[in-house]
Amino acid sequence: MAGCHDLIKKLSAYADGELDENLCADLKRHLEGCADCRLMLDHITMTVRLCREGKCQELPPALQQRFEAVLAERWRKKFGQP
Task: Give residues in contact with Zn ion (CB under 5 A).
Answer: 4, 34, 37
Dihedral pair phi/psi, residue 31, rounded to 5° = -65, -35
Q: Provide, rounded to whole angstroms, the least separation between the CB of residue 80 and Zn ion.
A: 15
Of the two residues 56 and 70, which places its CB atom closer to Zn ion in the complex? 70
Nearest to 41 by CA among 24, 58, 63: 24
Q: Provide, rounded to whole angstroms, the least separation between the CB of residue 52 and Zn ion.
A: 25
Of the two residues 38 and 49, which places its CB atom closer to Zn ion in the complex? 38
For residue 13, the number of C-alpha atoms closer than 13 Å in the C-beta half-sphere is 12
Of the two residues 8 and 50, which places its CB atom closer to Zn ion in the complex? 8
Q: Using an 8 Å Cβ cutoff, are 14 and 27 in contact?
A: yes
Q: Provide, rounded to whole angstroms, the least separation between the CB of residue 65 and Zn ion.
A: 23
